[in-house]
């Protein structure tokens, strides 16, 4: 007996219904990106390993899927090298290419390679899969989609403002209530500076980023463990627990960070973003959150994260400002800011809250029943007319029993069935059945079109 087929761990098949839901997500994100002047690019699934290696740290390098060279990949390798069983060294000889780990590094490579064709500031978006050789677990996959938008070649904070408007517009269209959290790397650097632990910025922010998960006592214990003094921890308490409106938090920070030039710059940037957004009438809440850290080695200015309010789930969108995106490829001084929507988590949120509109999930709007050659020929004429005006329609290909054809319509959640028998043909009409209510009515092709277009 043939072995049962399987797929690699951490990957998934998607059914027609799941694909309809995913495309609904991608289409809304794509439409909003277009609304704000972003243009789509795509980069290859595989990149040269020299492009990818060393960009994500040692852990990231271990999670890269490497692609074995074609042909005789043993040529040029000595017996001594083979017998050494040094996996890392051998992989570098066997493999020149790898699957992309994210969309940011390939984008940096794209900007450098196409700099003479690009008009700056360059507003690009990408909706493509990425791959990571991670340990699969609930909500974490080895193959998943990223929906990135970035503006490069501009330092203006209006870019940050527009990205937050994009976030607000996308989630408003989905019907998901969210809280958009913002912070600034410069504020965090200023805090580390005024408590006298500037060199421990990473340790401090990694700890306070866990406040929601582990609580204040454990955060303080972790800070102490990292060698931060009791005096510095004491100074940090009022900052970690800072509450009130965004304006009140900014006022407090201006006093606390008065002696820190970098900290005050971060406050100034945050104030501009928040004050400008206040005039835009966002539908969702926006909050200055000093415990937000987001990969501090990477970001240099404003940072963002989006939390769903009605579902317990991690961040569903994130991003921020970074400097020198292209420096690793020899083109320095290109600043940028970007966001990435977590399509897989948004999929889960929409499922839990049952927010998918019916028309997004149901593909076919009307099924024409097939009673035989003459009836099918008559139905095809009407079928062509309804498709011309954009109604999604199909005919059952075989003259099967009525029960089988109706079961097919039910299984596919088709809302209407058009029945054409001898009586209907004589009147030049069809019997249209509403599958939800069971109501039937004899209608002309024009009437059928009008009903379905409603």
| Annotated binding-site positions for L-histidine | 102-104, 132, 146, 150, 294, 298-299
Rounded CA-CA distance 166/35 in Å is 9
First to last CA, the chain: 52
- Stretch (H or E) spanning 417: strand 416-419
Q: Are 20 and 363 in contact (CB under 8 A)?
A: yes
Q: Which tokens is 121 given?
A: 């500031």
Identify each DSSP E strand in 309-401 by its residue range.
Answer: 317-322, 336-341, 366-368, 393-395
Beta bridge partners of 181: 287, 305
Cross-strand pairs, 149: 125, 339
What three-state secondary structure class fits 109?
Answer: helix
Query: Which residues define the annotated binding site?
Result: 102-104, 132, 146, 150, 294, 298-299
CA angle 105, 109, 112 (to 5 degrees): 140
Measured distance CA(232)–CA(207) in Å, rounded: 14
Tokens coding 56:
């994500």
- The structure tokens listed for 159 are 């870019």
Contacts of 405 (CB under 8 A, 6+ apart): 367, 369, 370, 396, 417
Torsion sign (Cα): 135, 141, 144, 148: negative
Where b means 16+ CB within 10 Å and e means fewer, 139-170 reads eebbbbbbbbbbbbbbeebebbbbbbbbbbbb
**Helix, strand counts (H, E) of the chain:** 19, 16
Q: Distance (Å, rounded) from C-alpha 201 to C-alpha 306?
A: 23
Give backbone dihedrals phi and psi of 183, rounded to 5 degrees, phi first.
-155, -170
Token readout for 356 is: 């998918």
Query: How far, in Å, CA of 182 to CA of 294, rounded?
Result: 10
Residue whose entry in the numeric block shows the structure tokens 């003479």: 116
CA angle, 153 then 160 then 141, to 5°: 90
Q: Cα–Cα distance between 97 and 46 in angstroms, integer?
A: 6
């Amino acid at each position: 007996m043939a072995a049962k087929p399987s797929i690699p761990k951490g990957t998934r098949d998607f059914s027609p219904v799941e694909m309809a839901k995913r495309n609904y997500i991608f289409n809304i994100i794509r439409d909003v990106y277009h609304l704000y002047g972003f243009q789509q690019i795509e980069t290859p699934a595989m990149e040269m390993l020299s492009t990818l290696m060393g960009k994500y740290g040692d852990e990231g390098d271990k999670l890269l899927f490497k692609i074995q060279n074609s042909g005789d990949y043993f040529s040029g390798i000595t017996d001594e090298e083979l017998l050494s069983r040094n996996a890392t060294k051998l992989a570098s000889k066997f493999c020149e290419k790898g699957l992309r780990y994210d969309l940011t590094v390939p984008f940096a490579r794209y900007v450098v390679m196409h700099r003479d064709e690009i008009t700056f500031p360059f507003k690009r978006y990408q909706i493509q899969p990425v791959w990571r050789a991670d340990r699969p677990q609930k909500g974490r996959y080895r193959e998943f989609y990223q929906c990135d938008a970035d503006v490069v070649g501009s330092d203006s904070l209006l870019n940050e403002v527009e990205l937050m408007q994009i976030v607000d517009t996308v989630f408003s269209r989905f019907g998901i209530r969210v809280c958009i959290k913002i912070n600034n790397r410069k504020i965090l650097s200023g805090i580390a500076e005024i408590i006298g632990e500037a060199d421990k910025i990473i340790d401090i922010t990694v700890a306070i980023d866990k406040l929601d998960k582990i609580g204040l006592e454990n955060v303080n214990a972790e800070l102490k463990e990292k060698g931060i003094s009791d005096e510095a921890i004491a100074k940090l308490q009022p900052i970690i627990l800072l509450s009130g409106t965004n304006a009140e938090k900014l006022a407090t920070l201006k006093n606390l960070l008065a002696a820190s030039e970098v900290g005050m710059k971060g406050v100034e940037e945050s104030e501009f973003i928040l004050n400008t957004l206040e005039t835009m009438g966002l539908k969702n809440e926006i909050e200055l959150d000093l415990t937000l850290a987001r990969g501090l080695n990477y970001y240099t200015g404003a940072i963002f994260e989006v939390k769903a309010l009605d579902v317990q789930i991690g961040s569903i969108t994130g991003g921020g400002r970074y400097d020198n995106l292209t420096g690793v490829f020899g083109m320095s001084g290109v600043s940028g800011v970007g966001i990435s929507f977590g399509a897989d988590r948004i999929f889960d949120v929409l499922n839990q809250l049952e927010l998918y509109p019916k028309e997004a999930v149901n593909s076919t709007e009307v099924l024409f029943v097939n009673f035989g050659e003459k009836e099918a020929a008559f139905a095809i004429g009407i079928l062509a007319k309804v498709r011309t005006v954009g109604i999604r329609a199909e005919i059952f290909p075989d003259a099967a029993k009525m029960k089988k054809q109706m079961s097919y319509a039910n299984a596919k959640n088709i809302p209407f069935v058009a029945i054409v028998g001898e009586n209907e043909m004589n009147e030049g009409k069809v019997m249209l059945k509403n599958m939800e209510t069971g109501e039937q009515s004899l209608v002309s092709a024009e009437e059928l079109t009008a009903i379905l277009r409603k």
